[in-house]
Structure 1
Amino acid sequence: MDTASIRSRVNALWDESIIAELKEYIRIPNKSVAFDPDWRTHGYMDLVVERFSRWARAQQLRAVAVEVVRLEGRTPLIFIEIPGDSDGTILLYGHLDKQPEMAGWRAGLDPWQPVLEGERLYGRGAADDGYALFACLGALSALQAEGIPHARCVVVIEACEESGSFDLPAYIDHLAPRIGRPDLVIALDSGCGNYEQLWCTTSLRGLAGGTLTVTVLTEGVHSGAAGGVVPESFRIARALLERIEDSATGRILPGEFHVAIPAARLEQAKAAASTLGSALREFPFAGSTRPLTDDPVELILNRTWRPALAIIGADGLPPAANAGNVLRPMTALKLSLRLPPTCDAKAASRKLKELLESDPPNGAQVSFTPNWGADGWDAPPSAPWLSRALDEASRAYFGKPAAYMGEGGTIPFMAMLGERFPEAQFLITGVLGPGSNAHGPNEFLHIPAAKKLTCCVAGVIAAHFRRDRV
């Protein structure tokens, strides 16, 4: 394969078409259904689906079939089929729904306004995960233009990932006869340790979450009258959270939320720590805030194979500027508990509810309402051909060998596919690297890395075709 020609074709497509499309995509506030229950009325999701589908149909791909599939009561899904030159099937995955705006965007940036600064395209969703469709089809376009054979490819772009992919199982069941049995899965919704090489995700954490509500009064009362008599709802919430997390260290306490870390993943963490070094600290820490540990290996294991709790929202707390001396009637906290890759998310959610609701302090009215959950994923061993292909592609387009590391996020689709297709090989990768800040303010897509990743996907697809022909 002429890697220079592939690079030239991919770069040209990005520069002449993809970047412009992503700018228009950023302008559309197609928040995921969990954050926009009225998404049908607003029409933003359909607008993105139409734009993406139109672009896909315009590509010079041999006999490409692009369909928008709509199941009753569910978000739409883009299904693309590209016939191949062999009996194998490659399933490529991405999503087009977005996280909400989030506060804190720096001056000159906005979640719904694209801003190109040097090599970075700022705006919500371009890196997570709008670029995926374009990278998948860009890789295939380059291969076909160079006359390089490939297997049949099926591209699935969902619109519910940021809400937990609860619509996706129904679509996979519905489309199962058309998908077939893929022997390679490529997903472009993950992270990268740096922008200097191809990063292959070897595991993903699971997730259990919900809302903890503590109610102590039917209405707020004067804090001077009630303080010292009525238990404070926030204090009770704090006490309940201590059953889950050691507030002094951040360690998650119940053994049900931990798993044994495989030896191979420990070795990968050590290798990744050696590659990344101080880059692991490149978060926007305020003041003299420090990471939980100075050991880079432990930091990687903390964010990939150990549970972690975050409070991501709250109700019952008025804005500070409008807070009177009132003992509030209730406190509600939105919890997000990241789980190790092989921890059962449903069992963890049940345990979380049991721990939080049992024997509440002062007899307070306490409820925990689970509202999301997803199993993690641990990659199967890579076949020799895939390991070679990943390394060759990374060296050809990044100039460095491929690297391997687990990621702390969750892609529900991966656990689903791992169960359905246990014999399949997986390439899970992405462009969510240092500073890209998916889900937060100032999200950006690192364009050179996205171009090189597109080339790497082309290289792996070509190697898949050759794997039994060497």
Structure 2
Amino acid sequence: MTAADATQPPLDRGALSKFVERKWDDEIVPALTDYIAIPAKSPAFDANWAEHGYLERVVADAAAWAEAQRVHGLTLEIVRLPGRTPVIFFEAPATRSGSGESIVLYGHLDKQPEFEGWRSDLGPWTPKYEDGKLYGRGGADDGYAIYASICALAALDAQGVGRPRCVGLIETCEESGSYDLLPYVDALRERLGDVGLVVCLDSGAGNYDQLWLTTSLRGLVGGSLEVEVLDEGVHSGSYGGIVPSSFRVMRQLFERLEDAATGRLLPQAFHCTIPENRLQEAQETARILGDEVWKPAPWACGQDGKPVLPVTTDAREALLNATWRPSLSVTGAAGLPALASAGNVLRPRTAFKLSLRVPPLVDAARAVADLKALLELDPPYNARVTFKPEASAANGWNAPQLVPWLADALQQASQAHFGAPCAFIGQGGTIPLMNILQAGFPRSQFVVCGVLGPKSNAHGPNEFLHVPFAKRLTAAMAEIVAAAP
């Protein structure tokens, strides 16, 4: 295939959709089925990842599939820096003259750990395709991204539709905070070129009925908080009322941090002013989704057989809580014996793993320092209180204003392949690459989207990839790439 010129054929949307449909059914779903079966956990959850070889295996499989596709001039390399997780870098030269900027296509292949609570006929490493959903860990978050990206390029090239130069950056450390990514970006900076657009397929969707563009991401601060009151456990009958419970000390520390009744984080340093355009987007998204903002959560059966209630049933406020306000979660614990083996003992220590999501405009490094100072200062009963931050603190991200060509392309692609307008939503999660690329390429535009729609449950049990939505998203991405200058 030669580079396209002004006489190139117009995009045939019907042919594009059929190409994507066939590629997904015949090749991508089987490839992702194999991928899901491999426990390629991120380094934070598999300290022996290098010895186990699972990350290398999924990288090799994805690279082999990509190299077999008919993409004009495609070259691919598995890049390995010493002591770091591998990265796939691919390049597809422009097929249209006059395109000086590059498009970066981003994804990751590492996975979250197993988690408990999978449906009896499902499991993290036992893929199952049912009713258009491919169940298993990692398919939606984010193994599909390289396959969808390459498929989109192949679909354009099959029609001879011109496009700019495209480069791919597929990492294997994202679920650990992408701490390996910046060294690779530095090493590959010249090969990335003059980046005009970044396409990231590692985000979510408010529903499966239209294209969703992510406009912001929260940052992440994590660490372990430990309270010690004894060198060894003692009989609760002898010392209860004398020795302060390590759990009660922990509760007092939490009272410094959040309002127990509402979950609102108390330190003002963890909050930011929400930009007016994001408030307006939240209002419009609340209008589109209504109660579906909060209803899809797998609510437990609460008191009197009624479901547990959300923090708020106001859709706009729920969206802002999950995207532009800080929130605290306890994601792990130590020092607590299993119920069956718990005796009448005052335990010497209680430790919690904390996950603090901070708003897009809050500096994560400053938040770490503020959190440590708040928790360790003047502890109750002079207990030994230690907060050990994780090294993977990451800033949030606020997308730049869309330029006209991209705003038009998003709407046209959504209407063409979903029959509905493109919608805009913030996300509560973190993608560290966005700030890295925005700092390195400040003139770039960003298309951050993904397949993590209602009940897809990334990181939790019963994670699934909504294949019909993924097909339409792939076709829409192809149109956006073709529209780039």
**TM-score range for the pair, normalised by the shorter chain length:** over 0.9
Alignment correspondent of 1:274: 287
Output one character per residue of 1:357-405: Cα deviation in whole Å (capped at 9) or x when no partner: 0000000000000013100000000001101000000000011000001
Partners in 1 of 2:101 and 2:154 — Cα distance? 18
1:286 paired with 2:306, answer: no
Residue in structure 1 matched with residue 353 of structure 2 by the alignment: 334
Picking from 67, 71, 79, the partner of 1:61 is: 71
Give, in whole Å, the separation in 2 of the partners of 1:394 and 1:234. 51
- Residue 300 of structure 1 is matched in structure 2 by 319
**Structure 2: 5+ residue stretches without partners:** 1-10, 302-306
Helix, strand or coil: the match of 2:477?
helix
Say whether residues 1:391 and 2:411 are aligned partners: yes
* Match of residue 393 from structure 2: 373
The CA deviation at 1:37 is 0.7
Matched, 1:360 2:379: yes
The SS at the match of 1:373 is: coil
Q: Determine the structure 2 residue equivalent to 1:456.
A: 476
Identity of aligned residues (%): 55
1:98-177 → structure 2 map (5 Å cutoff): 98-177=111-190
Whichever residue aligns with residue 440 of structure 2, its letter is R
**Residue from 97, 101, 116 that aligns with 2:110:** 97
TM-score, length-normalised on structure 1? 0.98
Equivalent residue letter for 1:343 = V
SS in 1 for 2:298: coil
Q: Is 1:47 the equivalent of 2:47?
A: no
Contact 2:133 2:464 in 1 (8 A): yes
CA distance in 2, matches of 1:262, 1:446: 32
2:86 pairs with one of 76, 81, 87: 76
1:468 aligns to what? none
AA at the equivalent of 2:378: D
Q: Report the aligned-residue RMSD.
A: 0.6
Match of 2:24 in 1: 14
Residue of structure 1 in register with 2:7 after alignment: none
Secondary structure in structure 1 of the residue aligned to 2:77: strand
1:30 matched to which residue of 2? 40
Distance 2:70 2:313 in 1: 51
Residue number in structure 1 paired with 2:304: none
Could you state the TM-score of these two structures normalised by the residue count of structure 2? Answer: 0.95
For 1:302 and 1:177, the matched residues in 2 are separated by: 39
Aligned mates of 1:54, 1:34 — CA distance in 2: 26
SS at structure 2 position matched to 1:352: helix
Judge conservation of contact 2:100–2:194 (CA < 8 Å) in 1: no
Q: Distance in 1 between matches of 2:322 and 2:194?
A: 32
Q: CA deviation at 1:213?
A: 0.5
Q: What is the CA–CA distance in structure 2 between the aligned matches of 1:149 and 1:243, rounded to whole Å?
A: 58
Amino acid at match of 1:254: P
Structure 1 segments unaligned to the other structure (5+ residues): 466-470
SS in structure 2 of the partner of residue 309 of structure 1: strand
SS at match of 1:243: helix
Shift of 1:181: 2.0
Partner of 2:169, secondary structure, is strand
Q: Which among 201, 210, 214 is matched to residue 197 of structure 1?
A: 210
Report the alpha carbon displacement of residue 415 of structure 1 after superposing the two structures with TM.
1.1
Mapped pair 1:344 → 2:357: no
- Is the partner of 1:337 in helix, strand or coil? strand
Q: Distance in 2 between matches of 1:88 and 1:3?
A: 25
Runs of 4 or more, structure 1, over 4 Å off, are: none
Shift, 1:322, TM fit: 1.1
Q: Quick one: distance in 2 between partners of 1:415 and 1:304? A: 16
SS in 2 for 1:200: strand
Larger displacement relative to structure 2 (413-422 or 70-79): 413-422
Q: Distance in 2 between matches of 1:177 and 1:112?
A: 38
